[in-house]
Amino acid sequence: MKKIILTGDRPTGNLHIGHFVGSIANRLKLQEKGGYEKFYIMIADTQALTDNADNVDKVRNNVVQVALDYLAAGIDPSKVNIFIQSQVPELAEMTMYFMNLVTMARLTRNPTVKEETKLRGFNLSVPVGFVCYPISQAADILGFGTTLVPVGEDQLPMIEQTREIAKSFNNTYGNIFDLPKPILPDNKACLRLVGTDGSAKMSKSAGNCIYLKDEPEEIKKKIMNAYTDPNHIKISDPGKVEGNVVFAYLDAFSTEESFKKYLPEYKNLDELKAHYQKGGLGDVKIKLFLNNILQELLEPIRNRRKEYEKNIDGICEMLFKNAEMAREVASETLRKMKEAMGLDYTKFLTKK
């Protein structure tokens, strides 16, 4: 099967280290590995508007922020097509046809949509566009013949629903879509990174994120204030590693290399955890260790960002050009869809 990769993010804020381990790290790996036919990263502004209808400025401003975050993280614009969703209107038309293949019951059963609806306190006032965004996400994915979707764990229900829509289209009108597969991080600790306050998710509104663009002092401050084990008061007290944010991040970010470099008195994370659990290891020490690791990861990202920030015009031009290329591909998919559906009114023309 052809290797066509597509993924995306909603531009509602800057990208943070949860995005990095959850999906960006895999994108970088795929980019380096090569051997793909096309690789798209979509900035999902249309999807972001499904719960930000009155906040277009925020979404628009964050489109550029997210583009900067990608480039800073090391996404290479000569290998990957980064484009803006709303600049490919064919996706909206596809969404219309896909809508007829999905039931209300199926839509409202999508666990991610359910969770997000609750989180936003929508109850009965949930916008129709929001409930339907998995259908538009299916168009994002299928519109480019995507076979691989590198995402975080929370997106699995979307890929599942996309596969169902593809199958339903294929069965109803004719086989034109390959079924896309998700690519998740190998390391389980990277699937869902907790916030610095210990709550289940990093989110801008909770103020518990470490952003890719954070300055060194901000990073350190956030780590020094991170939630650990409230009962671990004296250094000699035994400490808990479960639910401890510092260990959750060390699970995701530390390697044997990090130990050699910054904490050679321990061989690996298991040894460090064992010492913490036994007692005699203070929070400051593990926090400074984590700080070293994250500073090393984020420094080159921050520096690259500062370079790219000098050329916002160039980034916008790239995004516009990329959208044109994306449109060509999406229009071809749309043409094939309409052909398969038999939606061709030239058949009625008597003069050919």
Specify the amino acid at residue 343: L
- Of 66 and 194, nearer to ligand TRP (C-beta) is 66
The rounded distance, in Å, linking the Cα atoms of 222 and 153 is: 25
In three-state secondary structure terms, 350 is coil
Q: Does 140 bind ligand TRP (CB under 6 A)?
A: yes
Task: Out of 5, 18, 30, 47, name the contact with ligand TRP by CB under 6 A.
Answer: 47
Q: Does 8 bind ligand TRP (CB under 6 A)?
A: yes
Q: Does 51 bind ligand TRP (CB under 6 A)?
A: no
CB of 283 to ligand TRP, least distance (A): 32
- Of 47 and 147, nearer to ligand TRP (C-beta) is 47
Cα end-to-end span (Å), the chain = 38
- Of 17 and 246, nearer to ligand TRP (C-beta) is 17
Name which of 167, 300, 308, 284 is nearest 235 in CA terms.
Answer: 284
Per-residue binder mask for ligand TRP (CB under 6 A), 312-331, x = binder: --------------------
Task: Out of 50, 86, 87, 155, name the contact with ligand TRP by CB under 6 A.
Answer: 155
CB of 39 to ligand TRP, least distance (A): 12
CB of 158 to ligand TRP, least distance (A): 6
Task: Out of 63, 72, 73, 151, name the contact with ligand TRP by CB under 6 A.
Answer: 151
In three-state secondary structure terms, 179 is coil
How many of the other CB atoms lie within 10 Å of CB of 16?
Answer: 23
Q: Does 81 bind ligand TRP (CB under 6 A)?
A: no
CB of 134 to ligand TRP, least distance (A): 8
Q: What is the phi/psi pair of residue 287, to 5°?
A: -70, -40
Name which of 53, 43, 57 is nearest 130 in CA terms.
Answer: 53
The rounded distance, in Å, linking the Cα atoms of 186 and 309 is: 32
74 exposed, middle or buried (CB, 10 Å; 0-12, 13-18, 19+)?
A: middle
The rounded distance, in Å, linking the Cα atoms of 85 and 113 is: 20
Task: Out of 9, 69, 90, 229, name the contact with ligand TRP by CB under 6 A.
Answer: 9
Task: Out of 4, 15, 21, 44, name the contact with ligand TRP by CB under 6 A.
Answer: 44
Q: Does 291 bind ligand TRP (CB under 6 A)?
A: no
Q: What is the phi/psi pair of residue 164, to 5°?
A: -65, -40
- Of 12 and 258, nearer to ligand TRP (C-beta) is 12
CB of 137 to ligand TRP, least distance (A): 4
Task: Out of 75, 80, 141, 315, name the contact with ligand TRP by CB under 6 A.
Answer: 141
Specify the amino acid at residue 204: K
The rounded distance, in Å, linking the Cα atoms of 145 and 139 is: 10
Question: What is the crossing angle of helices 283-309 and 245-253, to 10°?
Answer: 60
- Of 149 and 194, nearer to ligand TRP (C-beta) is 149
Q: Does 165 bind ligand TRP (CB under 6 A)?
A: no
The rounded distance, in Å, linking the Cα atoms of 207 and 197 is: 9
The rounded distance, in Å, linking the Cα atoms of 148 and 3 is: 7
Task: Out of 149, 166, 290, 334, name the contact with ligand TRP by CB under 6 A.
Answer: 149
Task: Select from 25-33, 55-63, 147-155, 267-275 the region that touches ligand TRP (CB under 6 A).
Answer: 147-155
Q: How many residues bind ligand TRP (CB under 6 A)?
A: 15
CA dihedral defined by 314, 316, 317, 322, rounded to 10 degrees? 120
The b/e string for 240-267 (b: 16+ C-beta within 10 A; e otherwise) is ebeebbbbbbbbbbbeeebbeebbeebe
CB of 24 to ligand TRP, least distance (A): 12
Q: Does 13 bind ligand TRP (CB under 6 A)?
A: no
CB of 10 to ligand TRP, least distance (A): 5
Query: By the criterion CB under 6 A, which residues form the site for ligand TRP?
Result: 6-10, 42, 44, 47, 137, 140-141, 149, 151, 155, 158
